[in-house]
Amino acid sequence: MKADKEIKKKRMRLSLPPEEYMHSGHLACQGCGATLAMRYALKALGPRTALSIPACCWSVIDGPFPYSSLSIPIFHCAFETAAVSAAGLKAGLEMVGDKETTVVAWAGDGGTFDIGIQALSGVAERNDNIIYVCYDNEAYMNTGIQRSSATPYGAWTTTTPVKHYKNRPKKDIDAIMAAHRIPYLATANISYPEDLYRKVRKAKDIKGTRFIHIYTPCPTGWKTRPEDTIKLGKLAVQTCIFPLYEVEDGSTWKINIKPRDKKPVKDYLRLQGRFRHLNEEAISFIQEEVDKKWARLLKYEEVSPL
Amino acid sequence: MRKVIMGNHALSYGAMLSRVQVIAAYPITPQTQVVELLSEMCADKVLDAQFIKVESEHSAMAACLGASLAGARTFTATSAQGLALMHELLHWASGGRLPVVLGNINRAMAPGWSIWSDQNDSLSQRDTGWVQFYCGSNQEVLDSVIQAFKVAEKLHIPAMIILDAFSLSHTYEVVEVPEQEKVDEYLPPFQPKFRLTPDDPHAFGGLTSPDHYLELRYKLQKDMEKAPALIEETGQEFQELFGRKLGLVDPYQCDDAEIILVTSGTAGYTACVAVDHFRQQGLKVGNLRIRTFRPFPFEIVRDILSQAKKVAVVDRNISYGHHGIFYQEIKSALYGHSPVPVFGYITGLGGRDITLDTFRQIIEETQKNDAPSERISWIGVKK
């Protein structure tokens, strides 16, 4: 008896539930952030969940017909329809007597920031009862690394070659979604799984349109080492390039992590082949822009609720 | 109960009596009254359905597909540009084997902007794998919605009910609105062969390799081939319960006809007036109104048309660089089966009225010439 107690004491406490709804055999690249995002999110969502997945890496990662690496149902829908396909699915399930299932649209940045923004805006304005997750790897990775409006300033992609790297900032999708005054919005990051889990779990219990924007590194498209995926996620938060925060009802901002010593963006950029061409001047410009955006975010929190 | 209603409301009553569960729609002239009445029915709880007021027709169809995959009976309505915007998802509906029913009000495509009738919108969707019914009266519109759900759900293939802008959509006619109990007897609740549920999780519509895709499309065509018999059978059943016939085609005075007109939509009824008129003058004319365009009713069309000396196809549509679309279809149906000469006429595009005089010109030209010209015969073009 005494020995048992000692063993219990020494056992590490799990910070996430051990249940898995994503399984081996999927088709992701090594070091893929999008796979971690799904694995953690499903731990929070549980088995009574249904997904709509538009064209994106995940429409391939899950596996070809007749296979699936997830143990929850998936509606593979058209590229621009993730949000409204989920809303239709939710309405249909309710009308056949299933009021319990959480319906989640699971889309990449192209399907969210670009081609899917109309349907997403429609769903958010109506406050349709779904969770929308955007896993953001900052370009059209599934088609071979073309720029999207989520691609950050300065990045190389196959359609923004080094000589003409992307010269416009990343679209602020979170501000757009907050402006819809949806009940809940959060940014999350695969390098902070407990924070990600907590946010998805919280979203699950809220009614209406909930939006979760997950930062997911892509070694293939970013020209990074697969083993640096977690490190990049940490750096994205420590440099304030991708801050972690929540917005409730489009009026109350709450920043979850405020780095004590903000790291320079250079630390983040230098690990990635897609930024390798940037000179000092370009890097200082990026630093200034990140600083401005961070200062603005702090102000939003300060004056909350708006 | 008899009611005097417009064609658009006939669609709404058809959907209501079919007990649709999810409606997603976006407004477009001349479709608006369909969804106005349905949203009222939902708000007043006359109809137990969810109405998703989407921000585009593309989203309307996407929402319908999600709802249908969950196992709900699903309806939408649109017209012209809206149908064109749905195009991608029309393929998704048939490929996903989701039996959505859609009301389309035939309206000419822009530019120039037109809100008036022609068939190029729906005929552009010919190859999307939908059953297409072209209606000639408000009664037929209402009845067709109910029959369409029965056919669509049995085959897991979506169906489109098509009616002319204004000459049907906004025209009031006396319509027998059947009793709910009788409709329930005819159309039981939707029992899908598969549906999305966490109780039995599957991935629907995922990446399909060349090893499987061909078979999926083969099965779709095989099921589409079952539709003509099913439409006849469910039409017969409908007649037994409600006293009105719903067949693949609607022949009028064809048995002894020397010239048979081939028509669709409301022009099909104007054609009957023309038939009576010419018969009074001693010319044996008949009219074959095509109700089901997809699947194409090859057999019955061949049987009827091969008896005639001449066939005159009237198209309110055009495939640029070819000919009228019904004309092509009729010729292909008769090829190798009957030597009857087929004359093709294009008229009425963009809502130009198709009148008794239009048919007079068509019949006279067909009568005058021994063989059809290679060139399209246009009726009513101002030169």
In tens, the pLDDT along A266-289 reads 999 999 999 999 999 999 999 999
Q: Quick one: DSSP state of residue A160?
A: B
Within a domain: residue A1?
no
From B62, B92, B197, residue closest to A73, measured CB to CB: B197
- Whether A9 and A28 have beta carbons less than 8 Å apart is answered as no
| CATH architecture group of domain B249-378 | 3-Layer(aba) Sandwich (3.40)
Residues contacting B344, CB < 8 A, separation 6+: B312, B313, B315, B323, B324, B327, B372, B376, B377
Judged by CB atoms closer than 8 Å, whether chains meet at B205 and A76 is answered as yes
Per-residue pLDDT, A13: 82
| Alpha-carbon distance B213 to nearest alpha carbon in chain A (angstroms) | 10
Instruction: Name every chain A residue with its beta carbon within 8 A of the beta carbon of B71.
Output: 92, 96
Closest residue in B to A77 (Cα–Cα):
B205
Judged by CB atoms closer than 8 Å, whether chains meet at B66 and A89 is answered as yes
Q: Is A19 helix (H, G, I), strand (E, B) or coil?
A: coil
pLDDT band at A10 (very low <50, low <70, confident <90, very high): low
From B72, B89, B204, residue closest to A96, measured CB to CB: B72
Cis peptide before B111 (omega within 30 of 0): yes
What CA–CA distances, in Å, run from A113 to A171, B166, B179, B244?
7, 40, 49, 52
pLDDT value at A1 more than 60 = no
Query: Which of B59, B73, B85, B211 is the best mutation test for A, with the most CBs of A within 10 A?
Result: B59
Within a domain: residue A130?
yes
CA B191 to chain centre: 24
Measured CA to CA, the distance from residue B207 to residue A58 in angstroms comes to 11
Question: Is any Cβ of chain A less than 8 angstroms from the Cβ of B86?
Answer: no
| Alpha-carbon distance B101 to nearest alpha carbon in chain A (angstroms) | 15
Q: What is the mean pLDDT of residues B205-212?
A: 96
Measured CA to CA, the distance from residue A12 to residue A200 in angstroms comes to 23
Per-residue pLDDT, A52: 98
Q: How many Cβ atoms from other residues are within 10 Å of residue B101's Cβ?
A: 32
Q: How many domains does chain A have?
A: 1
pLDDT band at A2 (very low <50, low <70, confident <90, very high): low
pLDDT value at B354 more than 90 = yes
Instruction: Name every chain B residue with its beta carbon within 8 A of the beta carbon of A98.
Output: 70, 197
- Whether B11 and B53 have beta carbons less than 8 Å apart is answered as no
pLDDT value at A130 more than 60 = yes
pLDDT band at B19 (very low <50, low <70, confident <90, very high): very high
Q: What is the mean pLDDT of residues B222-226?
A: 98
Q: Quick one: DSSP state of residue A112?
A: I
pLDDT digit string, tens, across residues B101-142 = 999 999 999 999 999 999 999 999 999 999 999 999 999 999
Judged by CB atoms closer than 8 Å, whether chains meet at B198 and A101 is answered as yes
The CATH number of the structural domain formed by B2-242 is: 3.40.50.970
pLDDT band at B374 (very low <50, low <70, confident <90, very high): confident
Per-residue pLDDT, B383: 86
pLDDT value at B7 more than 90 = yes
What's the burial of B12, exposed, middle or buried (CB within 10 Å: 0-12/13-18/19+)? buried
Query: Domain boundaries in chain B?
Result: 2-242, 249-378
Question: Is any Cβ of chain A less than 8 angstroms from the Cβ of B332?
Answer: no
Instruction: Name every chain B residue with its beta carbon within 8 A of the beta carbon of A42.
Output: none
Within a domain: residue A284?
yes
Judged by CB atoms closer than 8 Å, whether chains meet at B203 and A48 is answered as no
From A49, A72, A84, residue closest to B59, measured CB to CB: A84
Query: Which of B196, B197, B212, B219 is the best mutation test for A, with the most CBs of A within 10 A?
Result: B196
Within a domain: residue A97?
yes
Residue B20's closest CA among B66, B71, B60, B54? B71
- Whether B308 and B253 have beta carbons less than 8 Å apart is answered as no
Calculate the average pLDDT of chain A: 96
pLDDT digit string, tens, across residues A140-198 = 999 999 999 999 999 999 999 999 999 999 999 999 999 999 999 999 999 999 999 99
From B53, B56, B66, residue closest to A88, measured CB to CB: B66
Residue B330's closest CA among B358, B296, B361? B296
pLDDT digit string, tens, across residues B55-90 = 999 999 999 999 999 999 999 999 999 999 999 999
Return the ∠ at Cα B353 (arms to B348 and B358), rounded to 5°. Answer: 75
Per-residue pLDDT, B27: 98
Per-residue pLDDT, B42: 96
pLDDT digit string, tens, across residues A67-82 = 999 999 999 999 999 9
Judged by CB atoms closer than 8 Å, whether chains meet at A77 and B65 is answered as yes
From A62, A71, A92, residue closest to B67, measured CB to CB: A92
| CATH code of the domain in which A205 resides | 3.40.50.970
Within a domain: residue A9?
no
Matching fold, domains B2-242 and B249-378: yes
Question: Is any Cβ of chain A less than 8 angstroms from the Cβ of B217?
Answer: no
Closest residue in B to A51 (Cα–Cα):
B203
Per-residue pLDDT, A266: 98
Question: Is any Cβ of chain A less than 8 angstroms from the Cβ of B26?
Answer: no
Instruction: Name every chain A residue with its beta carbon within 8 A of the beta carbon of B55.
Output: 118-119, 121-122, 125
Residue B140's closest CA among B11, B30, B1, B241? B11
Within a domain: residue A11?
no
Closest residue in B to A21 (Cα–Cα):
B201
Structure tokens at B191: 């029992």
Q: Is A1 helix (H, G, I), strand (E, B) or coil?
A: coil
Question: Is any Cβ of chain A less than 8 angstroms from the Cβ of B219?
Answer: no
Per-residue pLDDT, A8: 61
Judged by CB atoms closer than 8 Å, whether chains meet at B66 and A90 is answered as yes
Judged by CB atoms closer than 8 Å, whether chains meet at B205 and A98 is answered as no
Judged by CB atoms closer than 8 Å, whether chains meet at B206 and A86 is answered as no
The domain of A34 spans: 20-303
Calculate the average pLDDT of chain B: 97
Instruction: Name every chain A residue with its beta carbon within 8 A of the beta carbon of B21.
Output: 92, 95-96
Judged by CB atoms closer than 8 Å, whether chains meet at B203 and A128 is answered as no
Residue B164's closest CA among B204, B195, B137, B198? B137
Helix orientation angle between B267-280 and B356-368, rounded to the nearest 10 degrees: 60
| Alpha-carbon distance A83 to nearest alpha carbon in chain B (angstroms) | 9
H or E segment to which residue A105 belongs: strand A102-107
* 3-class DSSP string for chain B: CEEEEEHHHHHHHHHHHCCCCEEEECCCCCCHHHHHHHHHHHHCCCCCCEEEECCCHHHHHHHHHHHHHCCCCEEEEEEHHHHHHCHHHHHHHHHCCCCCEEEEEECCCCCCCCCCCCCHHHHCCHHHCCEEEECCCHHHHHHHHHHHHHHHHHHCCCEEEEEECCCCCCCEEEEECCCHHHHHHHCCCCCCCCCCCCCCCCEECCCCCCCCHHHHHHHHHHHHHHHHHHHHHHHHHHHHHHCCCCCCEEEECCCCCCEEEEECCCHHHHHHHHHHHHHHCCCCEEEEEECEEECCCHHHHHHHHCCCCEEEEEECCCCCCCCCHHHHHHHHHHCCCCCCCEEEEECCHHHCCCCHHHHHHHHHHHHHCCCCCCCCEECCCCC
Residue B160's closest CA among B77, B251, B242? B77
Q: What is the mean pLDDT of residues B25-39?
A: 97
Q: Is A15 helix (H, G, I), strand (E, B) or coil?
A: coil
pLDDT band at A12 (very low <50, low <70, confident <90, very high): confident
Instruction: Name every chain A residue with its beta carbon within 8 A of the beta carbon of B88.
Output: 78
